[in-house]
Structure 1
Amino acid sequence: MADDDDEEGFGGAYEDGHWIWDENNEQLAFVSDLPPMAVEAIQIPTKAPTGTVEFRDDVDLIEQIRFRRRYQRKVKPGQAEIITVQDVKDIALFTAPVNIMSPVLINMLHLSTTDRFIRALILYCAYYLQIADEMTRRIMELETKVRTPVCELLENEYRDNLGDLRLLVSKEYSTMLIGGSDTRKFHHMGAQKKRRSLSDKDARLFETLLRMCVQIVWLALGRKSFNQIELEMNRMFKSEIFNSVEHTLKTNYITNMAKEERDVLLGHCVRKDTKLNTQSPLMNEVFCHRKIDYRILGLGVIKFPQMTPRLQYMYQAVAGDEESLSTMGVVLGIIGMPRSAFDTMLRPLPTAGVETGKSAKSVAGMSSGQSPKSSASVRKSMTTAHQLYPDIVLPNPPTKEIYFPPSFPEHPERARPCSETQRRRWQNRLQKLLHPQSAGR
């Protein structure tokens, strides 16, 4: 029996296989005679790329005619024919690649909170580029001039203005993160915040939203300084450590800044923490211990009884009527300018006599194939370019103490609704692009 057991164990047959001697490993190995089981393949949905996403900027004449007939916002009788945020969003949606588009993204772009968020981004980026050019000029003048105490006072004013405009962006961004107001249904844990967290889906939504906002801001600022806008927006939302655009371009623009430039453009609310404890500069602005007007955190949402000229300027830029921007002296890029001075793709007509700079791939002299340049040399060419819109002049903050009402305001501000017609048009177009066969029927 012992011999039979050994023979059966050493190469003998079993009902589902047999043993053999593995000469390489010098041990017994069991070989199954059953056919291999079919492995169920897990279908992982294709994720939208959020790195180097290229928007079309060379739309031919036929496409422009199709856009003007089917997707361009129609001006109703009695309305002023000016450029609105919706017009800029329409151009961005029309030129966006299909692989980053989704119905959720289109719906989110047509919210009152997102509209205020985009307008605050346009205002901040326009002022950031303006102050960056001014600081470049001042740093270049240090070679022949001496700094005085007045220089520090002026640069502190620039720094505080940038901090307040970043606060305008961060208040809307915080609302979107916590799922407040009309963004409740887009929260990653559901409208009631009781569902399991869809963190990956939420990250992809905000990545595509950020890339779309970069394109919208670039179009609203006259197609100039694309790389500067993209670098600064990614720094604000992700901090320097997780700035993927900077890791790709390797410009070292923050390292190459002079100390005075860094203090003004970055502000004094930047925190240096470990990677696990790092917060984005926008969140640092919210929790920063500095003197701010608390009413900035409620502009466009709460109706305040008293507002300073500075707050009125910010409110008009973020939540006011776009028809009143020019009459109020508020500069928001090309928003509020006459529609007749631009073509279908919102490029200025030759009769306007202005230059809008280079294309997105070569704006500001920075590209992934070029060597890193200093902060001053990168923006030196921009100071001589013709301006499409005037500079932003923010009113000074009040010298007296901030007014505190006896009770918190109870009446909300009137929310400016987005165009439901345009939202449906872009949803229908996306369905046609995703399902061309069913659309043809």
Structure 2
Amino acid sequence: MADDDDEEGFGGAYEDGHWIWDENIEQLAFISDLPPVAVETIQIPTKAPTGTVEFRDDVDLIEQIRFRRRYQRKIKPGQAEIITVQDVKDIALFTAPVNIMSPILINMLHLPTTERFIRALILYCAYYLQVADEMTRRILELDTKVRTPVCELVENEFRDNLGDLRLLVAKEYSTMLIGGADTKKFHHMGSQKKRRSLSDKDARLFETLLRMCVQIVWLALGRKSFNQIELEMNRMFKSEIFNSVEHTLKTDYISKMAKEERAVLLGHCVRHDKKLNTRSPLMNEVFCHRQIDYRIMGLGVIKFPQMTPRLDYMYQAIVGDEENLCNMGVVLGIIGMPRGGFDTMLRPIPVASETAKSKASVSTNIMSSQGSKSSTSMRKGANAKQLYPHIYLPKHEEHEIYFPPSFPDNPEHIRLCSETQRRRWQNRLQKLLHPQAAGR
């Protein structure tokens, strides 16, 4: 028989062989002496605007010298002097307005998943602009030419290529949505997905990230067709209904497209559901019922035993070494091109034969710059010279898709981003947000 002290304390007392429960007696409480686990919290100091955001593109010479001395990526001995994705990100971060900058945005831009996402966006937008120009030319030729069955085959190839490139963007975007891999600490419900959803914070982070990616893609494609890039990227991520850029510009460009042009540029995975059930075109591409090579969904993350020339082209574009892109015939805008052909702000340096032409067009540029702000943004980069060759994706294999006996689970080697550059931009942001503390 245990002592009375041991028999009490379980919510009652032992009398005459029976337990008598008393609600006034406290229950057992297990108290841990371990310190509480620190929960990482990422705060945005100011609410970033979700409307029109203008980046600086008229950096003076003094600012360029400061950027080259303090923030430009330093080339180490033995490294190729070529343009990398990090160089383009540095220009975008340097010219971004302070009110959209935040430590979480800088950290997210320096993740391997985000870098694959940006490279996939550059590849898609470059091919999209190329196909859009080709389709415009083909539609204009309908006045004098007759469509043949060959036209359908060529346009179907354009449509399938755009769909596969959208899948490259969608697979990285899906990783960000679910907080997978290295993006889990940026999830709106925490890394364990057990907190209350911070939907407002998540929406503002997404808006600033999307606007930053638009600027990065525009810089990587030689500063041309800004509004066309912005409209297409917002359509992909938000659908036609919630495309805020289209609501602002009111271009009505989709309804102005010809039927053949719309079928190629938008694809056949577009769904027009009710607003509450609307999914973005990127997610529609993932769940679309069409023949898709499943290996596209794991490029750069999982090693596959067999790779077709088409898959290898996409693989090199999103995770390959930048110094080998030109040698392998992979086009990714100005990424991989020699650094000596561009100035500090990644503008092409004109050669001697082009100097006379540029002087002759000075007066025209001055007159065009006196227009309204909206028309200036619509023309931004419209007349830029084509700095990179056209993209020619290898065709699909004629035989059926290879299915291995088991799904491969060997991870691919992940290319890390520059930690040095990330710290530089974090320090610069702290100086801009707290100038008094930085001056001490």
TM-score range (shorter-chain normalised) is 0.7 to 0.9
1:348-375 superposed Cα distances (whole Å, 9 cap, x missing partner): 001287899999xx99x997459x9xxx
Query: d(CA) in 2 for partners of 1:67 and 1:386?
Result: 25
How many residue pairs match? The answer is: 387
Query: d(CA) in 2 for partners of 1:300 and 1:217?
Result: 20
Matched letter for residue 280 of structure 1: S
Q: Specify whether residues 184 and 285 from structure 1 end up closer, same or farther in structure 2 by C-alpha distance, changes over 3 A only.
A: same
Contact in 2 for aligned 1:249/1:367 (Cα 8 Å): no
Matched letter for residue 94 of structure 2: F
Query: d(CA) in 2 for partners of 1:51 and 1:400?
Result: 48
**For residue 193 of structure 1, what is the aligned residue in structure 2?**
193
**1:12-411, aligned counterparts within 5 Å?**
46-351=46-351, 368=374, 386-411=385-410
Deviation at 1:385, TM superposition (A): 6.3
1:224-280 superposed Cα distances (whole Å, 9 cap, x missing partner): 000000000000000000000000000000010000100000000000000000000
**For residue 39 of structure 2, what is the aligned residue in structure 1?**
none
**For residue 426 of structure 2, what is the aligned residue in structure 1?**
427
SS in 1 for 2:327: helix
SS in 2 for 1:142: helix
Contact in 1 for aligned 2:121/2:217 (Cα 8 Å): yes
Contact in 1 for aligned 2:223/2:384 (Cα 8 Å): no
Query: d(CA) in 1 for partners of 2:249 and 2:184?
Result: 36
Query: d(CA) in 2 for partners of 1:64 and 1:393?
Result: 36
Query: d(CA) in 1 for partners of 2:200 and 2:64?
Result: 36
Matched letter for residue 92 of structure 1: A
Contact in 1 for aligned 2:123/2:332 (Cα 8 Å): yes
1:144-164 superposed Cα distances (whole Å, 9 cap, x missing partner): 000000001100000000000
| Coordinate RMSD, CA, aligned | 2.5
**For residue 440 of structure 1, what is the aligned residue in structure 2?**
439
TM-score (structure 1 length as normaliser): 0.84
1:186-213 superposed Cα distances (whole Å, 9 cap, x missing partner): 0000000011110100000010000000
Query: d(CA) in 2 for partners of 1:352 and 1:52?
Result: 38
**For residue 17 of structure 2, what is the aligned residue in structure 1?**
none
Deviation at 1:48, TM superposition (A): 1.0
Contact in 2 for aligned 1:248/1:368 (Cα 8 Å): no
Matched letter for residue 402 of structure 1: I
SS in 1 for 2:424: helix
1:294-316 superposed Cα distances (whole Å, 9 cap, x missing partner): 00000000000100000000000
Query: d(CA) in 2 for partners of 1:369 and 1:51?
Result: 18
Deviation at 1:414, TM superposition (A): 0.5
**For residue 4 of structure 2, what is the aligned residue in structure 1?**
none
Deviation at 1:408, TM superposition (A): 1.1
Matched letter for residue 306 of structure 2: Q
Matched letter for residue 414 of structure 1: H
1:71-123 superposed Cα distances (whole Å, 9 cap, x missing partner): 00000001000000000000000000000000000000000000000000000
Contact in 2 for aligned 1:81/1:339 (Cα 8 Å): yes
**For residue 12 of structure 1, what is the aligned residue in structure 2?**
none
Matched letter for residue 339 of structure 1: R
Matched letter for residue 321 of structure 2: D
Structure 1 runs (4+) deviating above 4 angstroms are 352-359
Contact in 1 for aligned 2:236/2:282 (Cα 8 Å): yes
Query: d(CA) in 2 for partners of 1:233 and 1:345?
Result: 24
1:398-429 superposed Cα distances (whole Å, 9 cap, x missing partner): 00000011111121000100000000000000
**For residue 14 of structure 1, what is the aligned residue in structure 2?**
none
Q: Specify whether residues 45 and 439 from structure 1 end up closer, same or farther in structure 2 by C-alpha distance, changes over 3 A only.
A: closer
Contact in 2 for aligned 1:250/1:368 (Cα 8 Å): no
Query: d(CA) in 1 for partners of 2:323 and 2:414?
Result: 16
1:308-359 superposed Cα distances (whole Å, 9 cap, x missing partner): 0000000000011111101110000000000000000000001287899999
Q: Report % sequence identity.
A: 83
Contact in 1 for aligned 2:222/2:334 (Cα 8 Å): yes
Matched letter for residue 65 of structure 2: I
Matched letter for residue 430 of structure 2: Q
Q: Specify whether residues 68 and 181 from structure 1 end up closer, same or farther in structure 2 by C-alpha distance, changes over 3 A only.
A: same
Query: d(CA) in 2 for partners of 1:316 and 1:325?
Result: 7
Query: d(CA) in 2 for partners of 1:386 and 1:59?
Result: 21
Matched letter for residue 125 of structure 2: C
Query: d(CA) in 2 for partners of 1:263 and 1:232?
Result: 15
Query: d(CA) in 1 for partners of 2:352 and 2:83?
Result: 15
Matched letter for residue 73 of structure 1: R
Q: Specify whether residues 150 and 118 from structure 1 end up closer, same or farther in structure 2 by C-alpha distance, changes over 3 A only.
A: same
1:145-184 superposed Cα distances (whole Å, 9 cap, x missing partner): 0000000110000000000000000000000000000001
Contact in 2 for aligned 1:341/1:352 (Cα 8 Å): no
Deviation at 1:50, TM superposition (A): 2.0
Contact in 1 for aligned 2:75/2:81 (Cα 8 Å): yes
Gaps of 5+ in 2: 1-43
Deviation at 1:222, TM superposition (A): 0.2
Q: Specify whether residues 317 and 157 from structure 1 end up closer, same or farther in structure 2 by C-alpha distance, changes over 3 A only.
A: same
Matched letter for residue 70 of structure 2: R
